[in-house]
Structure 1
């Protein structure tokens, strides 16, 4: 199914949607900015990408766990109260993290505080996505709403780190972290107190297991797609600033990541009108593998010491980002068990953040050992590997009846 611009407009202007749309945008914007801002903050203070990658990875692992746990609570109790509690805990945890970095406490302590802070970072992507089931009817408008969620989330995943890189160049390198925390808390509280969110009630569940939504084979497949996406993006997010730092122009990393987001959004809107491959179960392996190929092209450009070719390859790779995140959201609509929409999307966010954590950590080590362009080799190889596995598992997300 394809969507038009009119469907996008009708979805975001649906009755009751204005306040949740605006506040969720504010609250979701730092979803990737926080971990990346923390990475740059710690790197500036410690002088080591390896140390910074470990702290950022701790934060991302916390987000990965928290997205599922919070999603399950919101599915069972409603989103408003859960979001208000975790927003408060997140503000406290982030304050402790800044204090730990500034006082230069032992690395394990900083990682532990980062882990807790990530754990209580409000799971806004899942909460925001689940609300559309109540705001718009099924069909093109709901698909447009999910595409909007995917496109906007992708913008935040790519533009957020760019903004973080720019703020890290200010006199205090923790500025990006502080801005990310403030936006998260303000947006989350505003979203939680909006009328449609306060009026949300849990849907009857089809049955709970210890593993929840991830017990479905289709959910495991789409989580794997999110993992591959995160691995590639995480590696690039380390490699690009490392290249810029090596050139003596740290600001260039933020500028390139911001340009990446522009390409992603433009191609994402056009792709939604004429998606290819049209079948979702074929789309995922093709897009992940193609993403890996283009990031490998970035590695080759780095080996050739050509910044122009690297930028061209990077922008081309950016064109495959939003189509992947849109596909994630659409497949969740198909395979998620009834009454577990927030948790199901939380598993996708978990997979992406775990992938980003591993990608950043591996890329940080590779950059230290083999130079900046090695990060792109790491990410590209991961994309190809995950794409191959998705092709083997493609039948698990083919033709599953919708339970939404």
Structure 2
């Protein structure tokens, strides 16, 4: 069987993407509503460390929040697919604002660790999944369009920009205004941005429970084999984010220059943004499955030498390389969802991937932190390596599950017979029969 090749020679750019009717109406409030996602963890760490004097306690509360989000995000996505994004988002942002306010108040009152952990559960579980909802809106408006990969790249860049700006803003507020200012701002932005985003009903995908496709709405997107493979793969990407964050911090402290941590992580994030922008502009001539495997292979190779870096310049260069490899993997994974998942379940599928990143990040923060405490930052950098290697092995072993579901045998046989008859008639007329090349 011949390998798949695309015949696409050009791709519409970001300008045309942003001119998509209705796009700006959900992009701007969506950006404001997803900004708190990047502020929550660091704001919790800074506030709880201030009130308890313990980074360990702060890490526990932050981890509880992340795990709760990872577990509840897919359920939120499934409800959004079934009943509509706006119907789900309004109560969610109200709940989140109240939960974060309660957590803030408990921390300031000096509540015990178990009480903070209990309050962290609803705060994490109610994190609004605006990023996946924006991706679902793009998929609904651009179904079958060559702009879809560009939209996936645009969302990756937006996410990365969020994770650059959010922590910086939260840190400035917590250290320059008040230790609780980060969480207060996070709750306020979530409420205002979330309500504005929910108000854009005209651009939301049609709820699966409201018309055709409602039957599929009762099953989970996780029942699709390809989605399960992508979830495992995205755990590896989450582990890169978590492992890099902890290990870069540990490295900066080891060399006696804690301030360089922001520079190093910024270079890492910049690599992701640059690659994301490039991925949206490139007209790929290889299929998405192969691109996904190539992205993870490059990520594994780049991560394999992080542990050996002992200078700021070398680690910055390697961090840039790792960042450059993350974006293609992320973007291609999200692009495959559009091919694998029916429209009525895409928001849920996107939230499974987002939740997998959050869960992988939480696990990596814990593992890399313990390794760094016991053996130094070099040991912490082994976490991204192991995680990406396992993800790559999974993709190689299960790559067939990432192909869209094949048509039934009856349909395939009929189509084949039509092709044969057409070829015979063309031959009788002396006309060559062209067979289209499928895309892998």
Q: TM exceeds 0.5?
A: yes
Give the deviation of 1:65 after TM superposition: 2.2
CA deviation string 1:278-324 (max 9, x = no partner): 332233333234323323422211xx3x1221111111111112212
Q: For 2:107 and 2:9, how far apart are their aligned partners in 1?
A: 47
Partner of 2:86: 80
Which deviates further from its counterpart, 336-345 or 286-295? 286-295
Unaligned 5+ residue runs, structure 1?
none
SS of equivalent to 1:105: coil
Query: Does the CA contact (< 8 Å) of 2:233 and 2:394 recur in 1?
Result: no
SS of equivalent to 1:139: coil
Give the deviation of 1:276 after TM superposition: 7.1
SS of equivalent to 1:150: helix
The count of aligned residue pairs is: 399
2:234 to 226, 235, 246: 226
Partner of 1:243: 251
Q: For 2:49 and 2:304, how far apart are their aligned partners in 1?
A: 26
Instruction: Pick closer, same or farther for the CA change 1:170–1:380 going to 2, 3 Å.
Output: farther
1:125 to 131, 138, 143: 131
Within 5 Å, which residues of 2 pair with 1:7-46? 7-46=13-52
Partner of 2:225: 217
SS of equivalent to 1:121: coil
Partner of 1:330: 335
Please say which structure displays the higher CA radius of gyration. Answer: 2
SS of equivalent to 1:66: helix
Partner of 1:356: 361
TM-score, reference length from structure 2: 0.82
Q: For 1:286 and 1:259, how far apart are their aligned partners in 2?
A: 22
Give the deviation of 1:224 after TM superposition: 1.1
Partner of 1:136: 142
Instruction: Pick closer, same or farther for the CA change 1:277–1:357 going to 2, 3 Å.
Output: farther
Give the deviation of 1:218 after TM superposition: 0.5
Give the deviation of 1:54 after TM superposition: 1.9
Query: Does the CA contact (< 8 Å) of 2:137 and 2:205 recur in 1?
Result: no
1:111 to 112, 117, 141: 117
Residue 263 (structure 2) pairs with residue 268 (structure 1): no
Give the deviation of 1:158 after TM superposition: 4.8
2:305 to 288, 291, 297: 297
SS of equivalent to 2:377: coil
Q: For 1:17 and 1:209, how far apart are their aligned partners in 2?
A: 25
Instruction: Pick closer, same or farther for the CA change 1:80–1:325 going to 2, 3 Å.
Output: same
1:368 to 359, 373, 379: 373
Instruction: Pick closer, same or farther for the CA change 1:258–1:401 going to 2, 3 Å.
Output: farther
Give the deviation of 1:248 after TM superposition: 4.8
TM-score, reference length from structure 1: 0.89
Give the deviation of 1:197 after TM superposition: 4.5
Report the RMSD for the aligned CA atoms in angstroms. 2.7
Unaligned 5+ residue runs, structure 2?
1-5, 408-440
SS of equivalent to 2:22: coil
Partner of 1:176: 182
Within 5 Å, which residues of 2 pair with 1:131-210? 131-165=137-171, 167-170=173-176, 172-197=178-203, 200-202=206-208, 204-205=212-213, 207-208=215-216
Partner of 1:65: 71
Give the deviation of 1:219 after TM superposition: 0.7
Give the deviation of 1:33 after TM superposition: 2.9
Residue 263 (structure 2) pairs with residue 258 (structure 1): no
Residue 391 (structure 2) pairs with residue 386 (structure 1): yes
Query: Does the CA contact (< 8 Å) of 1:42 and 1:101 recur in 2?
Result: yes
Residue 329 (structure 2) pairs with residue 321 (structure 1): no
2:313 to 308, 326, 348: 308
Instruction: Pick closer, same or farther for the CA change 1:106–1:293 going to 2, 3 Å.
Output: farther
